[in-house]
Structures are given as C-alpha cells and as structure tokens.
Amino acid sequence: MPEFLITADNRRIIHVDLDAFYAQIEMRDHPELRNLPLIISRDPTESNGRGVVATANYAARNLGVHSAMSAAEAKRLAPDAFFMRPDFQKYKMISQQIHHIFHQYTDKIEPIAFDEAYLDLTDSVLTGATLAAKIRHQILKETQLTSSIGVSYNKLLAKLASEFNKPNGVTVITKDNALDFLARLPIASFRGVGKKTQEKFAVLGVENGAQLRMIPQETLRAQFGKMGEHLFWQARGVHFGEVQWHRQRQSVGKEETFDQFVQTRDEVNLEFKKLAVGIVKIMKNKKLVGRTLNIKIRDSEFNTITRSVTQSVPFKLEAGSIVSVAQTIFDENMNTDFSIRLLGISLSNLQSSGFEEMTLF
C-alpha cells in the first residue's frame, strides 16, 4: 500500500444488524412457528400470486427463499412454509427499543434500516469487542432477539465484518488482519458487486479480494467505471465515510437520590409526582414532546431496574398521566417490601411540539 494511505484511522466503528429481523420477531411472538420455514409476506394463494418477501427465517432461507423475491416464487421453493403478513408498526417499535440501547453507548448513530445501524464508538474507553458483546447481550436481554455485529476502524470493514459471521456472531477486523480478511473475501461479498459485475470478474478470473487487489486502478476504472474505483479502495480496506448522525437532545429526565430510603408506596408516588412535574415544565419550556417514558429504580442494595414504555404518539405533558405509568411500572417490578435509594423518570424519542402548537393557533 502506498505510504500516504497509511493514515491514522483510529476510529472504532461498529455495524449492528439484527438477524432476519421481522422473521425473528414473529418467531419470538409465535413460538409454534419456530421450527417451520417462515416467510414474512402475504400468502400468494390469498393475494392472487402477488406479494413480495420482506424477509424469511433461516429455515426458509435454506430452501432458497430470500428478501425481495416474489411470494409466488417463495411458495414454489418452500411449499410448506408459513406466510405471515408484516406488521411494520410492531417492527418499528422494536427498532426504537434497540436504538434506545444504542443511545446508552453513543449518540453517534446512523440508522440504515429498522434492523441495521452504524455506531461510532471512538470516544468509548472500552474496546470494540467488549462494546459489541455488551450491546449484543443487552439487545438479547431486552428484546430476546439475536444480532450480528462487525467491529472495525471504518464503516466499510464494520459492515463486511457483521456479514461475515451471521447469524448471531461478532467479527472484529483490526489493522493487523484487515488485508488478510479482504484477501480471502469472495468477490461477491464486496459492496456493490451484483450478479453482472460478478460475471465480469469471473471472465477476468477474479474470485476474491487478493485477486481484486492485483488489478491496477486504471483497469478497474476502465472496466467498471466509478464502481471500479470504489472496488480498488475496498480491496485495500480504505474508507473514510463518517457515521452520519444528527446531534439532538436525546432525553429529558430527572432523578432523585434519597438520603433516607423510600419505603412506602405513597412516598414513591409523591416522589414520582415531583419528578414528573419537573419534567413537564422542562419539556414545555423547550417545546418538546416524547414518545418513550423511561423509569429508573435503584434499591438500597444498588440493584437498578430501568424500564421503558414507547407509544406511537407522544406522552401527554401532564404530570398525572406520567406518574400513573411510572407507578404501574414500579408496581410491576417491585415486591411490596422495598427500600428505594433512587427514582428517575425521563422522556426520550423526543420531537418538537411546534407542530401541534401551530395547529392550535
């Protein structure tokens, strides 16, 4: 590699990709479907052969079914498969739940799809591998869904890494092993290489990254235009694209630590009320509303419980309704006998309340 390319790219980027997201959610919610080929799409026999596969579980994929395939074709390949209509509203909610987890690690998040995002974790003190393990574990714990994560120093390698060990895996690509990893990668795995490009490469006798790397830049440009240029850099693991995120306020919250532990339900309710009144005031001042309500409870033993409720419409900025959700969550998660050190409430998934105000006046 020319020396000028060996720049100090010390970023820590991860690419998170939930495994067969929609299908996995439906398997989670319908355990009786777990061992069947499951195709998320309208059943072609009920829709005059129309419909497109949104995704399929791995049992169906093993039969050749893949996303974007016509449902009729999928039915031919997997006649015994169960077809289920997608519930995008549900998938979106779960996606938000997962983003809430991401935000505990960084706000530098670039969403690619409901089930896919890049995170820039350069600022974290933890290693990429540790972060990947923690995030995967937390997603599994809170949603019962598995994900694959790629860790590297740029987006290109992070993405290739997450695809490498799918489903339910982690791959870390470091500067030391990047060129090796790319050399072994089949040509079809490089970004932007479709069927046609693959056929062209087959004619040139190029089957993997090592062979791709031997082709001069001019030749690639002449044969494949702009894509050829991209491939030249991909083969060398060079990619300077940044994680595209938008700086925004992520949550408005308040918490209170008690010198004397709170031990009655009435006291808890009173403390929730104080917190909620404070939050409502801040939210109104900042002209914000939020769709996710987060509750934090820490007991005298330092056990911490955090729970969230996400609605499709923002929570009413009314202390009373916030308190009643908080209290319900508290009651569901605590025994009657408790000793509380800290309570917290926050609202996230914020949006401007400006629109509603405009329509009012």
Among 12, 13, 16, 17, binds Mg ion (CB under 5 A): 17
Fill in the per-residue mask, 18 to 37: x = in contact with Mg ion (CB under 5 A), - = not in contact: x--x----------------
Report the nearest approach of Mg ion to the CB of residue 55 (Å).
8
Cβ proximity to Mg ion: between 56 and 325 the closer is: 56
**Residue 1: how many CB atoms within 10 A of its CB?**
10
Check: CB of residue 343 under 8 Å from CB of residue 275: yes
Report the nearest approach of Mg ion to the CB of residue 18 (Å).
5
Q: Using CB atoms within 10 A of its CB, is residue 166 exposed (0-12), middle (13-18) or buried (19+)?
A: middle
Annotate 57-69 with DSSP letters as a single string.
Answer: -HHHHTTT--TTS
- Whole-angstrom Cα distance, residue 83 to residue 41? 6
Q: Does 145 bind Mg ion (CB under 5 A)?
A: no
Report the nearest approach of Mg ion to the CB of residue 24 (Å).
9
Check: CB of residue 239 under 8 Å from CB of residue 190: no
Report the nearest approach of Mg ion to the CB of residue 15 (Å).
10
What SS3 class is residue 348? strand
Report the nearest approach of Mg ion to the CB of residue 162 (Å).
9
Active site residue 218: no
Instruction: Please count the residues of this chain forming the interface with Mg ion, following the rule CB under 5 A.
Output: 4
Q: Using CB atoms within 10 A of its CB, is residue 179 exposed (0-12), middle (13-18) or buried (19+)?
A: middle
Which residues, in sequence order, are CB contacts of 45 under 8 Å at separation 6+? Answer: 75
- Whole-angstrom Cα distance, residue 81 to residue 74? 9
The answer to whether 80 is annotated as binding is no
Q: Which of 116, 218, 229, 301 is catalytic?
A: 116
Fill in the per-residue mask, 317 to 356: x = in contact with Mg ion (CB under 5 A), - = not in contact: ----------------------------------------
- Whole-angstrom Cα distance, residue 306 to residue 340? 14
The answer to whether 176 is annotated as binding is no
Cβ proximity to Mg ion: between 45 and 168 the closer is: 168
- Whole-angstrom Cα distance, residue 350 to residue 117? 19
Cβ proximity to Mg ion: between 21 and 190 the closer is: 21
- With tokens 């791959």, the residue in question is 171
Q: What angle do CA 247, 104, 156 make, to 5 degrees?
A: 65
Report the nearest approach of Mg ion to the CB of residue 189 (Å).
16
Which residues, in sequence order, are CB contacts of 81 under 8 Å at separation 6+? Answer: 36, 37, 38, 39, 56, 60, 63, 65, 74, 75
Cβ proximity to Mg ion: between 168 and 177 the closer is: 168
Footprint of Mg ion on residues 79-118 (CB under 5 A)?
A: 115
Binding-site residues for Mg(2+), in ranges, read 17, 115
Q: Which residues are catalytic?
A: 116
Binding-site residues, in ranges, read 17, 115
Q: Which stretches of the chain bind Mg ion, using CB under 5 A?
A: 17-18, 21, 115
